[in-house]
Amino acid sequence: MKPNRRPPARKRERSKSAAIEDVSGENWDSEVIGLLLRDGESSGSVIRPEPSPTAPLPRKENDLSRANLTGADLSEAHLNGAELVLAQLSHAELRKARLAGARLSHANLNGADLKGVDLNGADLSFADLTQTDLRDANLLRANLENADLRAADLRAARMSTARLAHAKLAGALFDESTTLPFERSEALELGLLYTGTDAEPDVEVVSGGEGVE
């Protein structure tokens, strides 16, 4: 008589669904950010897929549209071409991040640290860039149409080929090393504040801020 053998235990299947994470205030390096995907049903959270060499990604890499990255440390992150439409990036640390060609339209970047960031060719239309630090930023060929740049720091920013139609610029700072797509006199008329070494102390600044036509 053959001894009874217990049937082999069934292996517990691992869920293929990605774990949802709220990344507000977290620190993320460039490799982690490259794996973050949009989660359309979780009010701006982002998801990190479980590692799988064969399973296809449900959405393309670098899609962080609507993600909540408020206060996140993304300094020196490699995010060229990333999708960040409607993303919440207020007070985020983005120093020297690479965002060339990224889509940031309607994103909230209020108070973000963007010093030295590469935004060459990026789409920042309708973005909230109020009180951002954009010193030494590369904004060449960037689309800033209808963006709100009031009180932003644009000293040493390169933006001679940026598109600024209808952008709000009142109170933004610039100096002799800022390359704007218009003359200094027009910048003053638009409400920008000149802080260069040759600034005239008694110059009258018009601060209507209706935006660039």
> Is the CB of residue 57 less than 8 Å from the CB of residue 36?
no
Is 22 or 146 the better-scoring residue by pLDDT? 146
- Bridge partners (DSSP) listed for residue 154: none
Helix (H) or strand (E) holding 20, with range, is strand 19-21
Report the pLDDT value the prediction gives residue 201, as an integer from 0 to 100. Answer: 57
Q: Is residue 172 predicted with pLDDT exceeding 90?
A: yes
Residue 7 or residue 71, greater confidence: 71
Residue type, 132: T
- Using one digit for the tens of pLDDT, what is the confidence trace for 112-163? 999 999 999 999 999 999 999 999 999 999 999 999 999 999 999 999 999 9
pLDDT band for position 197 (cuts 50, 70, 90): confident
Average pLDDT of the chain, as a whole number: 78
pLDDT digit string, tens, across residues 50-95 = 444 433 334 456 799 999 999 999 999 999 999 999 999 999 999 9
Residue for token pair 């071409």 = 81
Q: How far is CA 162 from the centre of its chain?
A: 16
At 47 the three-state DSSP class reads: strand
Is 45 within 8 Å of 65 (Cβ atoms)? Answer: no
The set of residues, in sequence order, having a beta carbon less than 8 Å from that of 204 and lying 6+ positions away, is none
3-class SS string, 78-142: ECCCCECCCCECCCCECCCCECCCCECCCCECCCCECCCCECCCCECCCCECCCCECCCCECCCC
Show the tokens assigned to 79.
Answer: 């995010």
